[in-house]
Amino acid sequence: MKSKTHRSPMRRYTTALLLLGGLFLISPLASAQLATCTGSEEYYVQWPKDGVPVWEMCFVTPENSSAADGSGLELREVYFGGYQVFERAHSPMLFADYSSSTCYRDWKDVLSNFLADNETIGGVMAEPTMPVETTCDLSQDPDIPVFNCPYATGRPGSDCFEGVAVQWEANQLILSTQYSAAWYKYESRAFFFDDGSIEFLFGFGNSDGTGSGTTHWHHNYWRLDFDIDGTSDNDQVFLNDTLQSTEFSDLRDATGGPMGGPVTWSVIDQASGRGYRLEPSANDYNLIHNESGSNYHEVDLMATQYHPGEFADNPDNFLSDCEMDETALVNGESLAGEDIVLYYMAGVKDTAGVDMMICKKAGPRLVPIGDWGPVTDVIFDSGSFE
């Protein structure tokens, strides 16, 4: 069980008052920073960029991310409206599974440059004024690879950046990065919207066409360590609306939920009723379950009990160890009154001779449940916060 800093209701109330003051007095006020970002290589980001934060978090770049051979874009201490959502959100398991016998468990800790101008912290952070463009964004021809930054865009090489690009839009905060495993260029993005919803998006780019003659599947597992309200010992997991008491794995089902809707999964703080519902995106359903027949990546969702230092099914990350062993994570432990970690997989298929080099993206949406308090009420009442 992790020890957690409990945030006092008074502090949240103060946050709300500060926000109201900011709205009505139109004066810059000191922000009530909750995410501490005092760990090694952690960097603080809030949205809006100035004033009282609606979203707060720390990020680390892929090269400093946790887990064996990294975990890509890693976010820690994520807060919405003054309440904690995640202790950590990252992508520690990443696979490329070929229709031949080849299969890789890729590394996730090697930065790869992409187009993001206005680098503000060298090798760490950019605050782009121009569009962010990754290998995946630009790889849209079925046969022709885009190679390396600055690609063939005509943009200057000085716009090529390694690290995390942060964009403050009118209604959302966007963090983007790219990392490489040899010719593969993986894009990881996170979108934090003003209504509290979150989207995670993963793009599976190929810089030079290596392996393009062989149909293959890519799978990325996000690891979402929820600590709703900062209390790690009382989150509950729901399959649709049914409380679950024991660890489980599951598959996407677009019509298998209530009234023919999709199957979803929720994590809700037992005390406050605040939580998040995880919904697959439309693209996530494009991946056919175990289509390769390898039986390597057989589950889309795992609801597990938190264990310190457990970031994946395996403490190592050997390239050839391509099977994701769900039994190492889902093994009958309790989910009742526990610290909860959800793993969620989305992936894509690249088909030889059809759409191989057209880069595809996938990833879930998370929607807030319950009352996220006066801060968010003010945002909803006043429209866009900025």
For binding to Cu ion (CB under 5 A), which residues are involved? Answer: 350
Contact 91, 226 (CB under 8 A): no
Cross-strand pairs, 249 = 302
Which residue lies nearer to Cu ion by CB, 339 or 350?
A: 350
Between the CA of residue 33 and those of 7, 78, 272, what are the distances in Å?
11, 11, 21
Q: Which amino acid is at 300?
A: D
Q: How many C-beta neighbours within 10 Å does residue 257 have?
A: 15
Taking the complex as a whole, the smallest distance from the CB of residue 103 to Cu ion amounts, in Å, to: 12
Which residue lies nearer to Cu ion by CB, 67 or 136?
A: 136
Which residue lies nearer to Cu ion by CB, 284 or 350?
A: 350
Closest listed residue to residue 345, CA positions, set 207, 232, 204, 206 = 204
Which residue lies nearer to Cu ion by CB, 104 or 161?
A: 104
Taking the complex as a whole, the smallest distance from the CB of residue 32 to Cu ion amounts, in Å, to: 44
Which residue lies nearer to Cu ion by CB, 180 or 232?
A: 180
Q: Is 313 left (phi over 0), alpha (psi -120 to 50) or beta?
A: alpha
Taking the complex as a whole, the smallest distance from the CB of residue 284 to Cu ion amounts, in Å, to: 17
Which residue lies nearer to Cu ion by CB, 182 or 239?
A: 182
Taking the complex as a whole, the smallest distance from the CB of residue 112 to Cu ion amounts, in Å, to: 15
Which residue lies nearer to Cu ion by CB, 106 or 350?
A: 350
Q: Please state the φ and ψ torsions of residue 12, each to the nearest 5 degrees.
A: -65, -40
Biggest alpha carbon–alpha carbon distance for the chain:
65
Q: Which amino acid is at 7?
A: R
Taking the complex as a whole, the smallest distance from the CB of residue 206 to Cu ion amounts, in Å, to: 5
Q: End-to-end CA distance of the chain, in Å?
A: 38
Taking the complex as a whole, the smallest distance from the CB of residue 320 to Cu ion amounts, in Å, to: 18
Taking the complex as a whole, the smallest distance from the CB of residue 94 to Cu ion amounts, in Å, to: 12
Q: Which residue, judged by CB position, is nearest to Cu ion in the bound state?
A: 350
DSSP 226-257: E-GGG-TT-EEEEETTEEE-B-EEE---SSSS
DSSP 281-338: -TGGGGSPTTTTS--SS--SEEEEE--TT--SSSSS--TT-----GGGT-SS-B-TTB
